């Protein structure tokens, strides 16, 4: 896994920009590829059938102005609790919920706004679940709201996505996730998620 990263960090005041690109190879590569202009169509001699593959899970630019950040490109979903990278999860493996019921990435635009120290909202559009290119020209919606306690021990996040995912663009796929995160001690955190 290799990445280049420059966070858009304006301290909540003024303009800034950032970017992020991930490149990966291995057994998770096949699961993290996007459809359309698929990652594995590159003439890559390292790709080895279904076991190994290469992928570009994220490729985006952030523009920040005061408390608003606009993310454009391919980015990880805001749905659920787990993420693609194993070191940022509790376990090396993933739950069936993440693997079978949630998108990994979206390609589109997402606006993220901090209302205050406790509340943040996000909303935007995407081209489908795990897509580089849309298969039907219909844009999907992605958005959410998060509340974090003043001491940052408790948070509740609601996220929603809705889009026409089939080739004809007539069958809507809707998903929501509610995630409660409670820090119990310095070393123990509890998470309850419903999709």
Query: How open is the CA angle 158-9-88, to the nearest 5 degrees?
Result: 50
Q: What does the pLDDT average to over 160-179?
A: 85
**The pLDDT value given to residue 36:** 55
In degrees and rounded to multiples of 5, residue 142 shows phi and psi of -140, 130
Counting beta carbons within 10 angstroms of the beta carbon of residue 36, is it exposed (0 to 12), middle (13 to 18) or buried (19 or more)? middle
Instruction: Give pLDDT, residue 165.
Output: 76
Q: Which residues pair with 72 in a beta bridge?
A: 61, 109
In whole angstroms, give the CA distance from residue 52 to residue 50: 6
Instruction: Give the Cα separation of 104 and 170 in Å (integer).
Output: 22
Across 59-68, 102-111, 112-121, 162-171, least confident range: 162-171
Q: Count Cα atoms within 13 angstroms, Cβ side, for 147.
A: 5
CA–CA separation, 163 and 138 (whole Å): 7
pTM of the model: 0.85
Q: What's the pLDDT tens digit per position in 126-144?
A: 988 888 777 777 889 999 9
The whole-number pLDDT of residue 19 equals 97
Averaged confidence pLDDT in the chain: 86
């Amino acid at each position: 896994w290799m990445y280049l990263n420059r966070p858009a960090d304006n301290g909540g005041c003024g303009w800034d920009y950032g970017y992020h690109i991930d490149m990966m190879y291995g057994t998770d590569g096949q699961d993290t590829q996007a459809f359309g202009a698929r990652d594995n169509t590159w003439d890559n001699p390292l790709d080895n059938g279904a076991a190994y593959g290469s992928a570009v899970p994220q490729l985006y630019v952030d523009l920040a102005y005061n408390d608003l950040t606009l993310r454009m490109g391919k980015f990880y979903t805001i749905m659920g609790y787990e993420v693609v990278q194993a070191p940022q999860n509790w376990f090396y493996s993933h739950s069936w919920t993440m693997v079978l019921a949630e998108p990994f990435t979206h390609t589109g635009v997402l606006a993220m706004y901090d209302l205050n120290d406790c509340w943040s909202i996000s909303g935007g559009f995407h081209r489908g679940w795990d897509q580089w290119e849309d298969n039907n020209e219909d844009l999907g919606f992605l958005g959410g709201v998060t509340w974090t306690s003043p001491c940052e021990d408790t948070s509740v996040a609601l996220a929603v996505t809705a889009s026409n995912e089939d080739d004809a663009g007539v069958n809507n796929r809707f998903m929501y996730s509610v995630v409660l995160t409670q820090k119990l001690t310095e070393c123990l955190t509890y998470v309850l998620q419903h999709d």
